[in-house]
Chain A
Amino acid sequence: MGPDVTWYLVVAALLFSIGTLGVLLRRSPLIVLLSLEIMLNSANLALISFSRLHGDHDGQIFALAVMAVAASEVVVGLGLIVAVARRKLVLDVDRFRVLRG
């Protein structure tokens, strides 16, 4: 027997907060997107370890669906980033100040 589910969950929780920190702290939208991927992946890890714990497949199916959704988010996100770069706007999440006030 390897490590039990608790250990998997601790890794998932740590990874989730690393991703959260990345989203909240970083300003480059590319790195924010990468951090979002980390958040979704940590949820996948939790889903898969719970799926193993309960011995039922739902968690793994969910994880596969999440993978597809994450890929879709990346496509739209990268499309947006390319469009922003094409307009020669500054790529900085915090510097988006036109919409303030």
Chain B
Amino acid sequence: MIDAPKVDWLALSPTLALLAAAGVALLASVIGPAWFRRGFAAFVTFGGFVTAGVLAGFLFDRSPDAQPLLNESMTRDRWAALAAIVLAGAGALSVLVSWGETRRDHAGEYYALLAAAGAGMVFFVGASNLMTLFLGLEWFSLALYILCALDTHRATSLEAGLKYLIVGSFGSGILLFGSALVYGATGELGFAEIAAAGVTDDSLLLAGLAMIVAGLGFKASAAPFHMWTPDVYQGAPTSVTAFMSAATKVAALVLTLRVLTVAFPEQEHLWTVAVAVIAIVSLAVGNIAALVQRDVKRLLAYSSVSHAGFMLIAVAANSPLGGRALLYYLIPYSAMSIGSFAVVAARERELGAPVTLDNLGGFLWERPFLGASMWVFLLGLMGMPLTGGLVGKFYVFSAAYESGWWWLVVAGVIGTAISLYYYLRVLLAMWTRPEPTALRPVVAGGSPPRDPLLASAVFASFAVTIGSFFFVQPLIDLARDAADSLPF
């Protein structure tokens, strides 16, 4: 007879809410009548994300002290809870963005997989041993591979799925071998136990650490592990791209900081340097490659690579201020990222063609609300005043400066300066009306009807982008409470 392990259901509740939503949506989209599937699945998934967010908020309130659960399989703490709230918000917005996508088959399954991916991420940010880390990673990654390839009639979507699967699995293979080496060096899988094993300058442990950092770099799309990012972001259905760009980054970066600070405090002098180098490479590669892009989704993909670099600066700072900066910055970043891809999705549906700088001409005047919101998102990604992007960048820089990384601050400032050019190109393209004489292709049947759900998602992103500037203090306080649960 074995004793049943004690399960903390509250700690698992956000994950379970999303899993339940995924299950219900999946069942409905298989056995429900055809007219019923899409609406019901979308509604249940939206409800699942909202419930998960509320439960995570409750969890945040109820877990002032970090608490390992189920033999260190996962940790109940505010760091995971706040990240789960951001993830749930990103997921809920993505459901709204997805609604306007007219997919004749698999429309219900789409939402089920979205909820399953969200559940995986919400679990992943709380993972605290190497096994649950790997399994959580594969959980949401597999769902994302399928989502990327869901438009099987488009070659680009299939390619995006296959490419993401191959590169992603390669990254998790490296992560797995690194985990095996760390397990070999310490004999432990739990993060805290690895640190407690007291192995310091062990060659196996260091090799394993390097491979774990590289494996997580693949997921956070930090250079030089970013090569899948532009192709996958471009080829995947745009609503999936919106979700991935925000949520995957949140999950991967939040967990990177957790595993590095909890499991490898003794090797701090090594991994901070490694992360700093990855940050600089990401800033350089992302910003320079974005300069020559004409496809807006690709441009935003490279911009997301450079933002991964920015947020890794906060990880490299390895301080409570760095943790605070990372979690704060992820809030407006998620909103700006989802918002901008939502606008791209709206334009794409209008044109029936990929959005490039050329066919974005006059968008600001054609669709004043969407155009103006896109302006705000891009200004926020630049780090302009009145958006949360400015505050985020400021906090990241001050965290880096406080930890003595002045050259990271310099690199960040140079990166921001370069980024002004390509963001301004998009702003300008939206401002300039196309030549009135030029014939413009019109989609047969006219442009699609206005999509109030997408507009409300854009408005919510807009509100978060601006609101995170005006309500800095409460958000920073939340981020501080969250970062306090990590041992710095």
Q: Do A and B come from one complex?
A: yes
Binding site for B on A (CB under 8 A): 5, 9, 12, 16, 19-20, 23, 29, 32-33, 36, 39-40, 42-43, 46-47, 49-50, 53-54, 56, 58-59, 61-62, 65-66, 69, 72-73, 76-77, 80-81, 83-84, 86-87, 89, 93, 96, 98-101
Contact A80 B173, beta carbon cutoff 8 Å: no
The digit string for B137-160, where 1 denotes a CB below 8 A from any CB of A, is 010001001100100110110111
Residues of A within 8 A of B181 (CB): 46
Question: Does B125 have its Cβ within 8 Å of any Cβ on chain A?
Answer: no
- Please name 30 pairs of A and B residues whose Cβ atoms are closer than 8 Å in the assembled complex, sorted by A: A9-B184, A12-B180, A16-B177, A29-B166, A33-B166, A40-B173, A40-B176, A50-B187, A58-B183, A59-B183, A61-B131, A62-B131, A62-B134, A62-B179, A62-B183, A62-B189, A66-B134, A69-B138, A72-B138, A72-B142, A73-B142, A76-B142, A76-B145, A76-B146, A86-B152, A87-B153, A93-B162, A93-B166, A96-B162, A98-B159
> With the chains together, A43 CA to B171 CA distance in Å?
13
Contact A87 B158, beta carbon cutoff 8 Å: yes
User: Main SS of chain A's interface residues?
Assistant: helix
Question: Does B169 have its Cβ within 8 Å of any Cβ on chain A?
Answer: yes
Residues of B within 8 A of A65 (CB): 131, 134-135
Question: Does B234 have its Cβ within 8 Å of any Cβ on chain A?
Answer: yes
Contact A73 B170, beta carbon cutoff 8 Å: no
> With the chains together, A13 CA to B67 CA distance in Å?
36
Minimum CB–CB distance from B192 to chain A (whole Å) comes to 14
Minimum CB–CB distance from B56 to chain A (whole Å) comes to 26
Question: Does B235 have its Cβ within 8 Å of any Cβ on chain A?
Answer: yes
User: Main SS of chain B's interface residues?
Assistant: helix
Which A residue's beta carbon lies closest to that of B129? A58
Given A16-B177, A84-B158, A98-B155, the answer on whether A58 and B131 have CB atoms closer than 8 Å is yes
> With the chains together, A85 CA to B221 CA distance in Å?
28
Question: Does B165 have its Cβ within 8 Å of any Cβ on chain A?
Answer: yes
> With the chains together, A49 CA to B153 CA distance in Å?
45
Minimum CB–CB distance from A82 to chain B (whole Å) comes to 10
Minimum CB–CB distance from A7 to chain B (whole Å) comes to 14
Which A residue's beta carbon lies closest to that of B138? A69
Given A69-B138, A98-B156, the answer on whether A80 and B183 have CB atoms closer than 8 Å is no
Selected from B155, B177, B234, B298, the residue in CB contact (under 8 A) with A87 is B155
Residues of B within 8 A of A56 (CB): 187
Which A residue's beta carbon lies closest to that of B145? A76
Given A72-B138, A73-B142, A80-B162, the answer on whether A50 and B184 have CB atoms closer than 8 Å is yes
Minimum CB–CB distance from B387 to chain A (whole Å) comes to 30
> With the chains together, A36 CA to B298 CA distance in Å?
27
Given A58-B189, A62-B183, A84-B162, the answer on whether A69 and B173 have CB atoms closer than 8 Å is no
Minimum CB–CB distance from A35 to chain B (whole Å) comes to 9
* Residue of B179, B184, B294 with most chain A CB atoms under a 10 A cut-off: B184
Interface size class of B (residues with CB under 8 A): 35 or more
> With the chains together, A93 CA to B177 CA distance in Å?
24
Question: Does B307 have its Cβ within 8 Å of any Cβ on chain A?
Answer: no
Minimum CB–CB distance from B144 to chain A (whole Å) comes to 10
Which chain B residues in 419-473 approach chain A with CB under 8 Å? none
Given A50-B183, A76-B145, the answer on whether A42 and B169 have CB atoms closer than 8 Å is no
Residues of B within 8 A of A81 (CB): 162
Minimum CB–CB distance from A58 to chain B (whole Å) comes to 5
Question: Does B231 have its Cβ within 8 Å of any Cβ on chain A?
Answer: yes
Minimum CB–CB distance from A72 to chain B (whole Å) comes to 6
Residues of A within 8 A of B295 (CB): 101
Question: Does B393 have its Cβ within 8 Å of any Cβ on chain A?
Answer: no
Which A residue's beta carbon lies closest to that of B154? A87
Question: Does B389 have its Cβ within 8 Å of any Cβ on chain A?
Answer: no
Given A65-B135, A87-B158, the answer on whether A42 and B177 have CB atoms closer than 8 Å is yes
Minimum CB–CB distance from B183 to chain A (whole Å) comes to 5
Which B residue's beta carbon lies closest to that of A48? B180
Given A58-B189, A62-B131, A73-B169, the answer on whether A43 and B180 have CB atoms closer than 8 Å is yes
Which chain B residues in 74-116 approach chain A with CB under 8 Å? none
Question: Does B163 have its Cβ within 8 Å of any Cβ on chain A?
Answer: yes
Contact B159 A99, beta carbon cutoff 8 Å: yes
Selected from A46, A54, A77, A89, the residue in CB contact (under 8 A) with B180 is A46
Question: Does B371 have its Cβ within 8 Å of any Cβ on chain A?
Answer: no
Residues of A within 8 A of B165 (CB): 73, 76-77, 80
Minimum CB–CB distance from B211 to chain A (whole Å) comes to 10
Residues of A within 8 A of B173 (CB): 16, 19, 36, 39-40, 43
> With the chains together, A86 CA to B149 CA distance in Å?
13
* Residue of B176, B180, B294, B295 with most chain A CB atoms under a 10 A cut-off: B180
> With the chains together, A9 CA to B162 CA distance in Å?
31
Given A77-B165, A101-B295, the answer on whether A47 and B159 have CB atoms closer than 8 Å is no
Question: Does B53 have its Cβ within 8 Å of any Cβ on chain A?
Answer: no
> With the chains together, A50 CA to B295 CA distance in Å?
48
